[in-house]
Amino acid sequence: MTDFTPIQSLFGGVLIGLSAVLLMALHGRIAGMTGILTGVIPPLAPDWQWRAAFLAGAVVSPLAYLALGGTIAFSVPVSTGLLVIGGVLVGIGVNFGNGCPSGHGICGIARLSPRSIVAVVTFMITAFITVFVVRHVIGG
């Protein structure tokens, strides 16, 4: 079962939204994690510095939260093999969807992009079906 953490979730959502707005305002770029990540994998994008800083912030922020005494409820109810398979499937979906859930869901919907709205609806339907199959059909 997933823990209900409304305060942490609200705070995290505010920080994600703020980072997306600031990235758009200061750099004119969409805060899609996959697009940002591809710019720091060789060959490096010409603007790799802000991309590396953005990704470092995504890694350092939870570590800072833990250092300040916060706790992060975290459990992985599946095997490493299933996590790898899930990661590969998400990577394939990102390629076919021309973007990741963060880019489409946070920035695309905010811009009322029809392509992003369709992508997010597709992500959500797929997620609902996957959770149902894993929890109720396979029994995971």
Residues 55 and 99 in one domain: no
**4-25 CB burial, b ≥16 within 10 A, e <16:** eeeeeeeeeeeeeeebbeebee
For residue 65, pLDDT beyond 70: yes
Residues 45 and 106 in one domain: no
Residues 48 and 88 in one domain: no
Quote the pLDDT of residue 116: 92
Of 50, 75, 100, the residue that ends a domain is 75
Residues 20 and 38 in one domain: yes
Residues 113 and 84 in one domain: yes
Residues 57 and 106 in one domain: no
- In the chain, the percentage of residues whose pLDDT exceeds 70 is 98
Distance CA(53)–CA(121), nearest Å, equals 30
Per the structure, the count of domains in the chain is: 2
Of 56, 75, 94, the residue that ends a domain is 75
Taking only the tens place, the pLDDT of each residue in 12-53 is: 889 889 999 999 999 899 888 888 998 999 999 999 999 999
Cβ atoms of 58 and 33 within 8 Å: the answer is yes
Of 75, 105, 120, the residue that ends a domain is 75
Residues 70 and 99 in one domain: no
For residue 81, pLDDT beyond 90: yes
Taking only the tens place, the pLDDT of each residue in 111-138 is: 899 999 999 999 899 889 988 998 899 8
Range of the domain at 96: 77-140
